Structure 1
């Protein structure tokens, strides 16, 4: 059965709330992986996994546990690439579906901006999550859940 994994340290609260409701509605086990204690509503479908602090510890735990067709919610491009390599599905909190066709370009852009930041050029961070982003996420999540609903 399909599982949803959430890179929860950086996941916006509004997206987590959508996932709480989706897990209940679809009876899909959803795991929130973070290096800090998380509060989630009581549910037999919602779970937390607390990992040690450190660079990519939560990401590595998600990659270790996820399987083909699992859905991973993350804005971390390298994590999305690893999920796709395992035949999982990666979706950003902004509703961007990462695929085998677009992940290479996304990794290249990420590396380019890392290089700019390392050289002292300020490229700024992502804009705040807006209503359009929330709607795009909800639409992609719903589409995925419809296609993969438990039998």
Structure 2
């Protein structure tokens, strides 16, 4: 088991690393070359600054039992298809039972925006998000290592 992080837009790195350290799990953070991420624990892998570059790299790297941290529903779908786990930076676990609904909602919201409508902006990150991320990462780690 490894934790693969979509580092281009992933707050909560300290909580991801805290959970990983407690269970001695490797963390790999993928980001494009326009970002600068430093870590004493995680391996940081830089990819070219191309559209979806990080997503493609994660899709190529994810293996059965890995945990992928990404807010991208497409990346989560690929992870689930590879029998890995997927969780977003706010700590919500993606599952085969909820991913189709999330993808449909994303599609509908895009159609609304494309036609000139407005959709809600995401809420600001808070301490509950940090706690949920940590707690649910531990839950996924324990699900794979009972």
Normalising by structure 1, what TM-score? Answer: 0.89
Whether the 8 Å contact between 2:8 and 2:31 is mirrored in structure 1 is: yes
Q: How far is the alpha carbon of 1:96 from its aligned partner? A: 0.9
Question: 1:89 is matched with which residue?
Answer: 85
Distance 2:143 2:59 in 1: 22
- Looking at structure 1, the residues matched to 51 and 116 of structure 2 have their Cα atoms a distance apart, in angstroms, of 22
CA contact (8 A) 2:16 2:133 kept: no
Mapping 1:26-45, distance limit 5 Å? 26-36=23-33, 37-43=35-41
Task: Kindly provide the CA deviation profile for residues 77-116 of structure 1, in whole angstroms up to 9, marking residues without a partner as x.
Answer: 1111111111111001111110111100010001111111
1:94-151 Cα deviation digits (max 9, x unpaired): 111101111000100011111111111121321111222222112101111223349x
Per the TM alignment, residue 34 of structure 1 is displaced from its structure 2 partner at its CA by: 0.5
2-structure distance, mates of 1:51, 1:21:
25
Kept in 1, the 8 Å contact 2:28–2:45? The answer is yes
Verify the 8 A CA contact 1:67 1:86 in the aligned structure 2.
Answer: yes
Pair 1:72 & 2:56 matched: no
Structure 1: runs of 5 or more not aligned: none
Tell me the TM-score normalized by structure 2: 0.92
Question: In structure 1, how many angstroms separate the alpha carbons of the residues matched to 2:112 and 2:50?
Answer: 24
User: Which residue of structure 1 lines up, in the alignment, with residue 58 of structure 2?
Assistant: 62
Give the whole-Å Cα distance in 2 for the aligned partners of 1:105 and 1:90: 15
